[in-house]
Amino acid sequence: MTSFDDLELRLSLGPVQFHWSREQLIDFYGDIASTEVDVVYLGETSCSKRRSLRHSDWLDIARVLTDAGKEVVFSTLALVEAGSELGYMRKLCENGDYRVEANDMSAVQMLAGKVPFVGGPTLNIQNHRALAKLAELGMMRWVAPIEATHDVVAGMRFFDKQHLEFEMLAWGPMPLAYSARCYTARARGLTKDDCDTCCSDYPDGLMLATQEGEKLLLINGIQTMSARSVCLAEELVSGSSPVDIVRIGPQAEQTAAVIGIFDDLRRQRRDADAATEALRLLAGAGTCNGYWHGGAGLEAR
Amino acid sequence: MELVCPAGNLPSLKAAVDNGADAVYVGFRDATNARHFAGLNFETAQLVQGISYARERGVRVFVAINTYARPDNLKTWEAAVDRTAELGVDAMIVADIGVMDYAATRWPGLKLHLSVQGSATSHEAIRFYAEQFGIRRAVLPRVLSVRQVATTIEQSPVPIEVFGFGSLCVMVEGRCYLSSYLTGSGPNTYGACSPAKFVQWTENGDALETRLNGVLLDRYSAGECAGYPTICKGRYDVGGEIGYAIEEPTSLNVLPILPELQRIGVAAVKIEGRQRSPAYVAKVTAVFREALDACLADPDEFELKNHWLQSLGKVAEGAQTTLGAYNRGWQ
């Protein structure tokens, strides 16, 4: 059995995509502190109207996680529209203690040439020339876009001269789109300006199904996600992984169990088939891995 | 405030030029641009003709190389940049920073405009592209309210172009994977949303069903008008209610706020629709030329003319129009 120190593959927990209450977030990260995850991304990436936690609360959580031996990274908003959002982003980028994941070029602009940063999955870094350019500006880790295929990641690795860390989402609903409009508010007959942050009623998103009852998308405020969870446990964890860090997307229940399964897999305590089967039971609307294999995202191969 | 019009082929380019465009934007016949549809776009020889037709009439030509290259096909995008530069066009519209880096290094004299696919929604993001690649103009995604556009213009290092008319992307451009989630092909890397080869129209009893790669997007009863199927304009079941959960089939139209766009300093208004017919291009260009001229002459007395709205209504998606995100109430 492999000892922890020998493990080259790290596990990360992505930022919470949904609107959870203060208590839920504090309890959640309290639990995460005792899991085997190595890197934890904190902060709100979807909608700035979600304010369950103050900045000081996030810093408290960051301290708890750091004390538990986790690397903490603060993630920035993916869609930036207001001056106040840029103001908070600047505060995060200049925090001085924790690394920052830039999810928009506005954050890259604030970080470039100043501190090393993580290039988030919404930056659209799809080729080696883009990768090299951002590495030159201080990007130390590339989180692949969710659309990335095996060939894209392998190609990036082939051309990467700066020896960047590669990371990819391997579990959870995939963020598919961002909008000015809030679809949760729309479903409740409200506008975004008067939304009552009603997205807090849907801690795992609001299901959108076709008229034939096929679960298709998750409505999550201004964000639209896949109903199916991506599952790349076999592709990214077993054998020699094409990435350095495998990201798990938080869900309202059973996140620690998911982390446990990925940890078992990387320590070879479970084989890929058993891990994939165990994970499938934890996905409410099924799993998919189509993007990785060059097909439609929702396909399961 | 200038008028930038779409052309998917030579007849459309001529229609835009003849009806009053200040600039026309086009793409090559491959995945390097965001309207990669069968039979659409330009071979180099046609583009040479198009450029001289436009130039002789004082109209500028922009070429869109505005999708994202991957490691195995970056050379194709770089070759498209070379072709564009050699043609001596007035500007190239770009989204991928790898492509921008190549263009800025290899062709420093080539003017770059940041495509809407570059997803820049704030002055800080625009500043990044301006400082790193020297972009001269940025096209804003269709997600900002008029006030937010105004604030962005005040602080932007370069002039701002906004969308004025056409099919409405309700998601931030460059960050929408809905089409590729269902089909494997989307705007970012393939250059098309809802590619026709995945679209199915089927009769089911009295209903007409539209599907994308087998997934039901909408069901129309007899007499209902069916639009081109895209995921964001379908009818779905959310909490037991069937409806347009994301957006109705509708077109963006900024004519009602044209004086305001002028007042806040918008540099250019862009018409969407390289995939549409020369007749569409002629009609929309003519209406916007007349409206812009009226607005530029006397913004305080600007009034919407009935014949403009009738004309645009006939070519609008779903035969209705909206201000989209410019109006906060829409959001």
Q: Cα separation of A223 and B331, whole Å?
A: 13
Instruction: Using CB atoms, pick whichever of B180, B329, B330 lies closest to residue A147.
Output: B180
B224 pLDDT exceeds 90?
A: no
Q: pLDDT class for A3, splitting at 50, 70, 90?
A: very low
A135 to chain B, any CB pair closer than 8 A? The answer is no
CB contact under 8 A, A187 and B176: no
Q: Cα separation of A267 and B131, whole Å?
A: 46
Distance from the B60 Cα atom to the nearest Cα atom in chain A, whole angstroms: 29
pLDDT at residue B317, rounded to an integer:
76
Q: Cα separation of B240 and B259, whole Å?
A: 43
Mean pLDDT of chain A: 96
CB contact under 8 A, B181 and A125: no
Assigned token pair, A283: 């996905």
Q: pLDDT class for A7, splitting at 50, 70, 90?
A: low
- Per cent of chain A over pLDDT 90 is 96
Q: Which residues of A touch B216 (CB under 8 A)?
A: 210-212, 214
CB contact under 8 A, A79 and B217: no
Q: From residue B282, how far is each of A20, B268, B292 by CA, in Å?
A: 51, 18, 15
Q: Which residues of B touch A177 (CB under 8 A)?
A: 171-172, 175-178, 232
pLDDT at residue A1, rounded to an integer:
39
Chain A, nearest residue to B237 by Cα: A209
Q: Which residues of A touch B324 (CB under 8 A)?
A: 180
CB contact under 8 A, B177 and A80: no
**pTM confidence score:** 0.96
CB contact under 8 A, B98 and A126: yes
Distance from the B145 Cα atom to the nearest Cα atom in chain A, whole angstroms: 9
Q: Which residues of B touch A108 (CB under 8 A)?
A: 128
pLDDT at residue B222, rounded to an integer:
86
Distance from the A142 Cα atom to the nearest Cα atom in chain B, whole angstroms: 14
ipTM of the complex in this document: 0.96
pLDDT in tens, A185-220: 999 999 999 999 999 999 999 999 999 999 999 999
Q: pLDDT class for B320, splitting at 50, 70, 90?
A: confident
pLDDT in tens, B164-214: 999 999 999 999 999 999 999 999 999 999 999 999 999 988 899 999 999
Comparing CA positions, the residue from B198, B220, B226, B200 lying closest to residue B208 is B220
pLDDT at residue A117, rounded to an integer:
98
Residues A146/A121, Cβ–Cβ less than 8 Å: yes
pLDDT in tens, A234-285: 999 987 899 999 999 999 999 999 999 999 999 999 999 999 999 999 998 9
Q: From residue A5, how far is each of A8, A68, A233, A259 by CA, in Å?
A: 8, 15, 21, 18
pLDDT in tens, A174-192: 999 999 999 999 999 999 9
Strands, E, within chain A: which ranges? 10-13, 39-42, 71-75, 99-102, 117-119, 139-143, 165-178, 206-209, 215-220, 223-231, 245-248, 287-288
pLDDT in tens, B80-101: 999 999 999 999 999 999 999 9
Residues B28/B40, Cβ–Cβ less than 8 Å: no
Cα end-to-end span (Å), chain A: 29
Assigned token pair, B213: 């790669």
Comparing CA positions, the residue from A123, A121, A227, A179 lying closest to residue B181 is A227
pLDDT at residue A5, rounded to an integer:
46
A125 pLDDT exceeds 60?
A: yes
pLDDT at residue B225, rounded to an integer:
81
Q: Which residues of A touch B181 (CB under 8 A)?
A: 174, 176, 226, 296-298
CB contact under 8 A, B148 and A82: yes
Q: Which residues of A touch B189 (CB under 8 A)?
A: 126, 147
